[in-house]
Amino acid sequence: MIKRNNFKLFDVGESLYVFLTGSQQVMKVTNSQMSRYFNAAMKGMDSVPDMDENIAAELTKELIELRDSVVIKDTPSSEFEQVMLTLNTTHGCNMACRYCFASTDNDRRKVMPAKVARKSVENLLMQYPEAKRYMIYFFGGEPLLHKLFIKDTVAMVKEVFKDKQDKSFGFLINTNGLLINNDDLLEFFKKNNFNVTVSIDGPEEINDSNRVLLNGSGSFKMIMRGIEALKKAKVNFNLRATISPMVKNLLEVFRFFESLEAPYAYSFTIITDKKNKKETKFTEEELRALGKQYAEVTDFLADKVINGEKVYCTDFIERLSILEHRWLRTHGCEAGRSALIVDENGDYYPCQNMLPMNVWIGNVEIGVDKELAEGYRSQFIDDLWECRKCWARYLCGGGCQADRRMYKWDFPDDTPQHCVISLFEWEQTLKAFVKIKR
């Protein structure tokens, strides 16, 4: 019999469907024999009641052949066509978001020295000589507190790449949107083809429950002014929402973002000891409610697709593409693989989420310690013992590496928050995929 970690049964309306892990196929269960087989397998049974053993064995053989027909391997670093360097411009911030686990109690005036930025860019070219495209990502804190540094760094990158005709580069920035307030900056973004990510968590009441200024007042109106300025100037931008336990109406959040008609992505809060866990950790009851609300969200987004309307949620679109093309995710993120972050002191970390964990993997002067980087980078999914029992392993790839490090696996049957969320996201996306397809 096929094992439970190799398939997922789900229903859409009156029909039963199965997702086959590995081959990544979605199939309709068309007869009672298949239904009985999968239901018995779900219960961990070794045989199917009232089914001829030869028929069950033949079904098992076919399913295993489907699974094993796909070659699953990790991606070597030499195959990365695009890599990304995140410059943690400053720890300083002009906001005090309640769930933010990054430490902003350092010297708020401190900015990355120009020599650190230059050295990290030069190192990037040496570390990934086979890459074709190099992305420079300004992060913080709030990077726009130091606009001159950003402008000088862009000029430096152009200088470094001027003789490398076979290489290209691009610029990204993550901002809270409060300082997008002048035509000169907007023209700079446009001229240098920046892709600007603005953090906003939803409608005013939801956003202002978490994303507050240093004086405790709400930020929504200021953020919206920044978004409107980007739209008017025709700068490439997208939005990013963080969903915390304080969000009680998920559908309202997604309706709001769809109404803005701008690309957006979302993530859920990462549990951390640096903040009150009520602001980052969902209770079991809240997770159950969240799962039901997410079903409403996917119904809403699927209906838009069916009705020929544009969907702006990039996460939903990406998941549908993964199912459509039967793509396999062999690792959850690019931490320590095709992406690195360097802080103001010139220290390397696998990603921005690991910076406050002090997961140091090198310095711009000595380079990246390969042994340390290997230990902290996102892992190959088949090497993660706790993921092998999961039917969604090649859909999520193991999830965010920072999430994994924050969570302590206390016993084999323990399921962390990020796994619970990922499972209901993928189950509901499977249902939406079938609805759209049929």
Tens of pLDDT, residues 113-142:
999 999 999 999 999 999 999 999 999 999
Residue 239 has pLDDT above 70, yes or no: yes
Q: What is the pLDDT of residue 108?
A: 57
Distance CA 178, CA 189 (A): 15
Structure tokens at 262: 């701008």
Decide which of 165 and 177 is more confident: 177
Per-residue pLDDT of 331-362, as tens digits, reads 988 888 899 999 999 999 998 888 777 789 99
Q: Is the pLDDT of residue 103 over 50?
A: no
Give the pLDDT mean for 266-279.
76
Structure-block tokens of residue 193? 């083809």
Per-residue pLDDT band for 410 (boundaries 50, 70, 90) equals very low
Residue 192 has pLDDT above 50, yes or no: yes
Residue with more model confidence, 159 or 332: 159
Instruction: Report how far residue 148's alpha carbon sits from residue 203's, in angstroms, rounded to the nearest whole number.
Output: 32
- Residue in the block written with tokens 């008609």: 261
Sign of CA dihedral 195, 201, 207, 212: negative
Name 393's Cβ contacts closer than 8 Å, sequence gap at least 6: 5, 21, 381, 384, 387
Lookup: tokens for 29? 């269960």
What is the mean pLDDT of the segment spanning 286-303?
Answer: 96
Query: Tokens 């759209």, residue?
Result: 436
pTM of the full structure: 0.93
Query: What is the DSSP code (8-state) at residue 366?
Result: T
What are φ and ψ of residue 49, in 5° steps? -55, 135
Judge whether residue 392 has pLDDT over 60. yes
Question: What is the per-residue pLDDT for 409?
Answer: 47
How many whole angstroms from its chain centre is CA 364? 27
What band does 327 get if pLDDT is binned at 50, 70 and 90? very high
Distances (CA, A) of 116 to 105, 134, 174, 245, 343: 22, 17, 20, 38, 9
Q: Which residue has the tokens 């300004």?
A: 138
- Is residue 210 within 8 A of residue 97, CB to CB? The reply is yes
When computed from its CA atoms, the radius of gyration of the chain, rounded to whole angstroms, is: 23
107 or 373, which is more confident = 373
Predicted pLDDT of residue 412: 44
Contact 110, 92 (CB under 8 A): yes
Would you tell me the crossing angle of helices 147-161 and 183-191 to the nearest 10 degrees?
20
Average pLDDT for the chain? 91
pLDDT of residue 131: 93
DSSP code per residue over 88-105? E--S--SB--TT--S---
- The answer on pLDDT for 105 being more than 80 is no
End-to-end CA separation in angstroms for the chain? 29
Which range, 163-167, 377-381, 391-395, is most confident? 391-395
| Residue 407 confidence (pLDDT) | 58
Return the number of other C-beta atoms located less than 10 Å from residue 166's C-beta.
Answer: 5
What is the pLDDT averaged over residues 171-189? 96
Q: Within a 10 A sphere around the Cβ of 28, how many other Cβ atoms?
A: 12
CA–CA separation, 143 and 149 (whole Å): 9
Mean pLDDT of 33-51: 93
pLDDT at 297: 98
Pair 137, 157: CB distance under 8 Å? no
Average of per-residue pLDDT across 46-67: 92
Indicate the DSSP class of residue 218. Answer: B
